[in-house]
Amino acid sequence: MPKLHVKSYGCQMNVYDSNRMTDLLTRDAAYVETGDPEDADLIILNTCHIREKAAEKIYSELGRIRRLKRDAARAGRKLVVAVAGCVAQAEGEEIVRRAPLVDIVVGPQNYHRLPALLDKAASGAKVVDTEFPPEDKFDHLASATAAAIRARGVTAFVTIQEGCDKFCAFCVVPYTRGAEVSRPVAAIVAEVENLVSAGVREITLIGQNVNAYHGETTSGGRATLGQLLRRLAEVQGVLRLRYTTSHPRDVDEDLVAAHRDLAVLMPQLHLPVQSGSDRVLAAMNRRHTRSDYLDTIARLRGARPDIAFTSDFIVGFPGETEEDFRDTLRIVEDVGYAAAFSFKYSPRPGTPAADRGDQVREDVKTERLARLQSWIDRHQHDFNQTCIGRELDVLLEKPGRISGQLVGRSPYLQPVHVMAPTSLIGQIAAVRITAVGSNSLSGALHPSPGVAEQAVAGTGD
């Protein structure tokens, strides 16, 4: 049976897409999965365009795969190479021109067509499919089998929305993933039920702009993300719900109320702000001000006082002054983030900010990033310290590196190490936190190895 190797780059949405491609191609035993590219008959690189020089990194990887293709040919085998994802969408035919070893280029909205594209490529044709298709790919994908779900663990991502209409000045997503599209409520509920019946206990709903969700209901109306969360909280066996990534402008009252009412909705929210300066936020086309953002944080804290926030920051956006940057440091202080990702601005071809003449010098960006990261680290450390001595509900996910140890996640998404039997994997246990590492917590089962039944009933932390 031919073997399939999928290599995934970038965000959770790509991990999800890679799983769906695998489910599609292993359906009816067309392929079996292999973790070893040397052994594969089909290699798919599921690419991401967010990071700097993303396309160049893929061309380097293709250079390494060229040897595998040559070796396979010498052994009388045909190795098919496909490039999928956002680099495929952005580069299109350029990929087969620069890397003739590539047989298939397929965009993120078209990968449901892979079986047909493979048939075409079998004749030796180069196949490029990056036009946004009229059909909905989700209608053509295979459900994951129980065995595949179990192999992936007790947590799962479910894409509920794709694309983005916000057009932030630094971002390629609206160009590579297209306009916002939401999946219908019934399709999401069915997928969640399938995952839960195979043992998944925590579902993270994902989308480029997840809280812009507006999926069709069975009665022909539209559901908000808050309404969808309420529906999913009713699915028997769902212990935890999360969602990411959100835009501050799309936090509506339904969503705030969901945080107030649903104990299975975890008290942690990734809410990127990017900058604390109104001038820079306007230049970024973020469509919200610093005070709008802080009001949103306050509304959510009013609804769920124990909620913790994480964020993304870009430093050195074109035109950013030292005063603007200090506003960013101040917003870190004002919110008190539990953690945050921060990056130096780097131009993405085709985005409005890339052509601005007031780019910030590289050494200035480097210095600001170091200051911001040490500021964020201090807040993360302070937040983690507040967990010491507390009893947190931890969803135990997998064995740790030490014999007898399990690793799970707290309600705030911190990794937690605890000595516990493997029979507890997939359950929520009460853990007394005793120590804090740089990026994780450790603790002891409390009061005894057992499930925190109240969490199953949905009391959260």
Minimum gap (Å) between residue 229 Cβ and ligand SF4: 20
Report how many residues bind ligand SF4 under the rule CB under 6 A: 10
> For residue 68, which of 104, 35, 105, 101 has the smallest C-alpha distance?
101
Site for ligand SF4, residues 149 to 168, rule: CB under 6 A:
164, 166-168
Nearer to ligand SF4 by Cβ, of 9 and 383: the residue is 9
Nearer to ligand SF4, 35 or 350 (CB): 350
DSSP class per residue in 219-239: TS-EE-HHHHHHHHHTSTT--
Taking CB under 6 A as the criterion, which residues in 188-247 touch ligand SF4? 208-209, 247
Residue found by looking up tokens 């970038």 in the block: 10
Q: Which residue, 171 or 238, is less far from ligand SF4 as judged by CB?
A: 171
Residues 255-314 that bind ligand SF4 (CB under 6 A): none
Binding mask 397-436 for ligand SF4 (x = CB under 6 A): ----------------------------------------
Give the whole-angstrom CA distance, residue 260 versus residue 247: 19
Strand pairing category for 155-159 and 161-162: unpaired
Q: To the nearest whole angstrom, how small is the minimum distance from the Cβ of residue 208 to ligand SF4?
A: 4
Quickly count helices (H) and strands (E) in the chain.
15, 21
Closer Cβ to ligand SF4, 103 or 320, answer by number: 320
Should residue 57 be labelled a site residue for ligand SF4 when binding is judged by CB under 6 A? no
Distance in angstroms between the alpha carbons of the first and the last residue of the chain: 47
Q: Which residues of 233-268 are buried (b: 16+ CB within 10 A; e: fewer)?
A: bebeebbbbbbbbbbbbbbeebbbebbeebbbbbbb
Task: Report the residue number, 41 or 252, with the smaller CB distance to ligand SF4.
Answer: 252
Distance (Å, whole) CA 324 – CA 327: 5
With residue 177 as reference, give the H or E element that holds it: none
State the angle between helix axes of 290-303 and 253-261 in degrees (0 to 180), rounded to the nearest 10.
30
Closer residue to ligand SF4, CB minimum distance, 143 or 285: 285
Per-residue binding string, ligand SF4, 116-155, x by CB under 6 A, is ----------------------------------------
Give the up-direction half-sphere exposure of residue 164: CA atoms within 13 A in the CB hemisphere.
22
Per CB under 6 A, which of residues 340..399 are in contact with ligand SF4?
none
Q: Shortest approach of ligand SF4 to residue 217 CB, angstroms?
A: 25
> What is the Cβ-side half-sphere exposure of residue 402, based on CA atoms within 13 angstroms?
8
What residues between 165 and 184 interact with ligand SF4 by CB under 6 A? 166-168, 171, 173-174
For residue 192, give the nearest of 143, 226, 148 by alpha carbon: 143
Q: Tell me how long the chain is.
A: 461
Q: Give the Å distances, CA to CA, from 345 to 51, 198, 312, 368, 371.
A: 10, 42, 12, 11, 15
Q: Of 180 and 397, which has the nearer Cβ to ligand SF4?
A: 180
Residues 437-456, one symbol each (x = binds ligand SF4 by CB under 6 A, - = not), give --------------------
**Distances from the Cα of 177 to the Cαs of 75, 101, 107, 181, 286, in angstroms?**
39, 25, 9, 10, 18
Nearest distance from residue 165's CB to ligand SF4, in Å? 8
Specify the residue, 117 or 281, whose C-beta has the smaller distance to ligand SF4.
281
Whichever of 110 and 209 has its CB closer to ligand SF4, that residue is 209
State the Cα–Cα distance between residues 307 and 155, nearest whole angstrom: 21
- Which residue ranges make up the site for ligand SF4 (CB under 6 A)? 164, 166-168, 171, 173-174, 208-209, 247
